[in-house]
Structure 1
Amino acid sequence: MAANYWESTQRRYWQFTKDELAQLRENLEEEEQSLVQMFPLPQWRHLSIYFNQQLHRLAKRLNCRQQAVATAQLYIKRFYCKVEIRRTNPYLVLTTALYLACKMEECPQHIRIVVQEARTMYSDLLTVDTSRLGECEFFLISEMSSHLIVHQPYRTLTQLQTEFALSQEEISLALSVINDHYMTDLPLHYPPHIVALTAILLSLVLRPNSVSATPAAGMAAAASVLAQAQGRQQQFGMGGGGGSGIASGQTTPGAGPPPTTGGGGGMSEKEKQQGERVGKVQRFAQFLAESNVDIEGMVDCTQELISFYECHEQYNDKMTREQINRFIKARALDRP
């Protein structure tokens, strides 16, 4: 087991560029051209949204931890990088992925209970018993080359929440962003700390109760912060005095106090909160500037998340479910 992400199988074998991932999926479809033409499916984002919903339904029945659900989502993504989805019963795959993830995250579920709950949820789409679930478990492990350790962004968020004085509201929003990123391809593209830092940034610039908290406004604000940090980072790099940031374990932002709002001692509560938010954003930008964090990666993560939220608005649950169920029934994948 690699305690360090940089030495892990996740970094060595399961991080792809966008072109590499697209090529993997294209190769799978070329190998099964007749199936692909016969059974069209929604885009991968919509499939991921659907799988996420089904996993959470099953996890709720089993009382699973969120980290196990996140690990299961990454297992599903890895597995479907190697196996064409139309060759499988996705309900069996996601049930098995959650069962395996619970083992790896040290919150194991008894196989008979998992089978019982899966039968209840998918009575007309999945015929499953303990032997079939066990067989699928070995299939998943084999296709993932036994690379089962997953490094999550949650740990980085926990480590940095005190350093950036994140409020409970900001922590909750950052956690929500991290949970949502598992419905994108970001876990297959970037290290977990890049995702966590992007989630923190979005939690600082997106205010859930603000009328200006739109994807476009959030993207503009985040882009401004990252551009500022990147400019400073380049200055530090040219001067040879840049800090090593996360790579060396340094997490102290080291920025000055937040700017005043200028009106003497009679600031309203709203003005104080705004001043605190501005100060947090400035400290965060300073932290990025003094570290060797991949800011271009954070820019891409931000764009992908904003794009995902816009895509989510076009998601059609009924159509996605029907297209999946159609090939399961037509290919008799609901039978033993």
Structure 2
Amino acid sequence: MATDFWASSHYKRWIVDRATLKQARADDLVYVSEPECLEFLAIYFANIISKLGKKLGFRQRVIATATVFFRRFYLKNSYCETDPYLVLSACCYVAAKAEESPVHIKNVVAESRALFSQEQYNVKHFPSDNSKLAEMEFYLVDDLECDLIVFHPYRTLLALCNKDFGNSNSSSDSPAEEAEAGELGTGIGADDGPRYWGTGQGQLELSEGGLQTAWFIINDTYRSELCLIYPPHLIAVTAIYLTLVLHTPTQNSIAHLLPYSPAFNSDSSNSGEPSQTTPHPRRSSRTSDSSSKHANQQDPIDFLANLNVSLSAIATIAQEIISMYSLWNRYREDVTAEEMRNMNANANMEPEKSSPERFCIRRHYL
């Protein structure tokens, strides 16, 4: 098992460019009027994987892994030549094994049939024979080239936001339980050179609400193909950036750290010699502790600037996430063909103007 992302099959074989993605959908483009329909289809199947995963009691990491398996499979196959419902059920089954949370194949078949038989899906041909799903499992693993190690942005998010992901006392519902080992490269070559993780250096103090917002943004990225294009640590940094920009409570909590804020200027003007009429607090007082914590809080601008990542890449990913939310804002599962044509016509005549703040945190199916 690879514990270093840069030495893993994820990085070496499953980070692709947009030309590869376009070529993978070449056969499906024949059957749609607009390429945007395939993007809607990607959201549709990701939502189904999420719903099936919840019915099977999966954690978010297992659902994310199943979604990545589904995306990887359709890099080599087309929707029109396969049964996506059987494929996504097999992805959930294999992902549960890969993430060491296995479920019985009978449960997967039963829950899949119950979900797909609902009126909104109306899938009548899903097989009840367990051997069909077991056979699909072998086809899936073959197309995945037995590369079942998937790295997600969650661990990087927790590490950068000063959260103790190694605390064994944390609850099972906490984000720390979802983080997988090795995404920060703490396995291979971990003893080479200085270590900074665990020392508190270079970490951003993010509130629980801000952390949840970044977590939800990462969840939403699996509705797109970003997990096939960019390394997970870049997606995690972008989620932090969008949280700092869009999450109002986080903005208020860091306002005094920004150079252009009135609170920062007020603190700077009062940072000279203390008044002689004001007694110095004792070191053991709570005031001293709180002021010390306030002074040591990381400046978010310095935090982003000092990361060893391409800020232009972060800006590009942020724009793609906002575009994904804009697309998702127009997505409906119960739309008819006539309504789709009308929506496309209206979109071409007058594009919808929406604030990015509306997209973030509004829809959380995960």
TM-score when normalising by structure 1: 0.70
Q: How far is the alpha carbon of 1:84 from its aligned partner? A: 0.7
Q: Tell me which residue corresponds to 1:176.
A: 216
Q: How far is the alpha carbon of 1:261 from its aligned partner? A: 4.5
The CA deviation string for residues 205-260 of structure 1, in whole angstroms up to 9 with x for no partner, is: 112679x9xxxxxxxxxxxx9xxxxxxxxxxxxxxxxxxxxxxxxxxxxxxxx825
Q: Tell me which residue corresponds to 2:44.
A: 50
Q: Tell me which residue corresponds to 1:287.
A: 303
Please, which moves more after superposition, 50-59 or 65-74?
50-59
Q: Tell me which residue corresponds to 2:95.
A: 101
* Aligned CA distance change for structure 1 residues 133 and 292 (closer, same or farther; 3 Å): same
Q: Look up the SS of the partner of 2:72 in the other structure.
A: helix
Q: Tell me which residue corresponds to 1:188.
A: 228
Distance of 2:248 and 2:303 partners within structure 1: 24
Q: Tell me which residue corresponds to 2:242.
A: 202
Q: Tell me which residue corresponds to 1:136.
A: 136
Q: Tell me: higher relative CO, structure 1 or 2? Use CA pairs within 8 A at least 6 residues apart.
A: 1
Q: How does 1:15-54 map to 2 (within 5 A)?
A: 15-26=15-26, 28-29=27-28, 33=30, 36=31, 43-54=37-48
Q: How far is the alpha carbon of 1:42 from its aligned partner? A: 5.5
Q: Look up the SS of the partner of 1:318 in the other structure.
A: coil
Q: State the structure with more CA Rg.
A: 2
1:316 aligned to 326, 329, 332, which one?
332
* Aligned CA distance change for structure 1 residues 91 and 17 (closer, same or farther; 3 Å): same
Distance of 2:75 and 2:270 partners within structure 1: 59
Question: Does the 8 Å CA contact 2:70/2:91 hold for their aligned counterparts?
Answer: yes
Distance of 1:309 and 1:100 partners within structure 2: 29
Distance of 1:54 and 1:202 partners within structure 2: 26
Q: Tell me which residue corresponds to 2:71.
A: 77
1:118 to 2:120 alignment: no
2:61 aligned to 54, 63, 67, which one?
67
Q: How far is the alpha carbon of 1:129 from its aligned partner? A: 2.1
Distance of 2:40 and 2:248 partners within structure 1: 24
The CA deviation string for residues 52-82 of structure 1, in whole angstroms up to 9 with x for no partner, is: 2212221221111100000111111111111
Q: How far is the alpha carbon of 1:24 from its aligned partner? A: 3.1
Q: How far is the alpha carbon of 1:180 from its aligned partner? A: 0.5
Q: Give the helix-richer structure, 1 or 2.
A: 1
* Aligned CA distance change for structure 1 residues 118 and 20 (closer, same or farther; 3 Å): closer
The CA deviation string for residues 295-336 of structure 1, in whole angstroms up to 9 with x for no partner, is: 2221111000011111111112113899xxxxxxxxxxxxxx
Q: Tell me which residue corresponds to 2:264.
A: 259
* Aligned CA distance change for structure 1 residues 291 and 172 (closer, same or farther; 3 Å): closer
Q: Look up the SS of the partner of 2:47 in the other structure.
A: helix
Q: How far is the alpha carbon of 1:292 from its aligned partner? A: 2.5
Q: How does 1:297-336 map to 2 (within 5 A)?
A: 297-319=313-335
Aligned residues: 262
Question: Does the 8 Å CA contact 2:24/2:78 hold for their aligned counterparts?
Answer: no
Q: How far is the alpha carbon of 1:291 from its aligned partner? A: 3.4
Unaligned regions of 5+ residues in structure 1, if any? Answer: 213-224, 226-257, 266-275, 323-336
Distance of 2:23 and 2:248 partners within structure 1: 37
Distance of 1:44 and 1:158 partners within structure 2: 33
Unaligned regions of 5+ residues in structure 2, if any? Answer: 163-202, 252-257, 272-292, 339-366
TM-score when normalising by structure 2: 0.64
Aligned-pair identity (%): 36
Q: How far is the alpha carbon of 1:142 from its aligned partner? A: 1.0
* Aligned CA distance change for structure 1 residues 40 and 308 (closer, same or farther; 3 Å): closer
Q: Look up the SS of the partner of 2:11 in the other structure.
A: helix
* Aligned CA distance change for structure 1 residues 140 and 319 (closer, same or farther; 3 Å): farther
Question: Does the 8 Å CA contact 1:42/1:320 hold for their aligned counterparts?
Answer: no
Q: How does 1:6-21 map to 2 (within 5 A)?
A: 6-21=6-21
Which AA in structure 2 matches 1:303?
A: Q
Distance of 2:54 and 2:337 partners within structure 1: 20
Distance of 1:82 and 1:54 partners within structure 2: 21
1:2 to 2:18 alignment: no
Distance of 1:133 and 1:197 partners within structure 2: 37
Distance of 1:320 and 1:102 partners within structure 2: 35
